Amino acid sequence: MEEREILTVRDLCKTFTLSKRQQKIEKTHEKKKKAVDHLSFTAYEGEIFGLLGPNGAGKTTTLRMLATLIRPDSGDAWMDGASIVTQPELVRRKIGFLTSELKLEDFFTPNQLFQFFGELHQMSRQQIEQRRAELFERFGIGAFAEVKVANLSTGMKQKVSIVISILHDPSIIIFDEPTNGLDVLTAKTVTDFLLELRTQGRTVIVSTHIFSLVEKLCDRVGILINGQMIVCEPLAELTKEKCLEDVFFDIYQKAAGEQNG
């Protein structure tokens, strides 16, 4: 059975202007930083695709462009046929996006947030209630549905963020560092759910720097270094001789040597 291409990324570029403070942090005198440099890759229906790379590699910038939160300087990407550049509203209907930067308002409850975002996605009252019952039970949120966000644990806030990001039942789910800062039990809930999404035929794009997470979840992996895709292969092909961590550091050292040379 032929794989169906559901995400096509072609020549994405994004450059940022650095402030004096950022220049100091980056230890550079350059006023601009190319965060993503002619990035291209493909993801298929019903797979989990992992973007792996060190901090500052361009993973979050890439996902923010795919989620239409920022525009690329050049290049484009198509989510199930919809362009992130010319059809951002259509793209947003097709995707769910979760990032650690998503901050829930402290004075709202999970019920209120779910209702608000459901209406934002133009879901009917019946659709909202059905989806709420399903997701709140799946993530154990029911007992906390009327507790203000300010009084929820970090793990419960993450679970609420997840259900809000997927309440409209998107076909493509984009998660930036999905288990970052979570306790082991909540992290397992999240990873188990991502695997469930794959069995349902959803496409999941995750960015992470955690090798074990990629090995547990991903069908294919793209290694991103300094905004460039160095390797993009099925995980089984990439790790047939070595563990992923060893493969990554071999690739990283080779890339660093080429840039310095």
The per-residue pLDDT for range 90-104, each reduced to its tens digit, is 999 999 998 766 678
Tokens found for residue 209: 């720097």
pLDDT at residue number 209: 86
C-alpha to C-alpha distance for 117 and 112, rounded to whole angstroms: 9
pLDDT at residue number 40: 95
In tens, the pLDDT along 177-236 reads 888 777 888 888 889 989 999 999 999 999 988 898 999 999 999 999 989 999 999 999
Whole-Å CA distances, 200 to 48, 52, 69: 12, 24, 27
What is the average pLDDT across 142-166?
91
CATH 3.40.50.300 applies to domain 5-260: yes
Identity at 227, one-letter amino acid code: G
pLDDT at residue number 115: 95
Question: Residue 114's pLDDT band (boundaries 50, 70, 90)?
Answer: very high
| Residue that wins the pLDDT comparison between 133 and 241 | 133
pLDDT at residue number 102: 67
Write down how long the chain is. 261
- The mean pLDDT value of the chain amounts to 89
- The rounded percent of the chain whose pLDDT value lies above 90 is 61
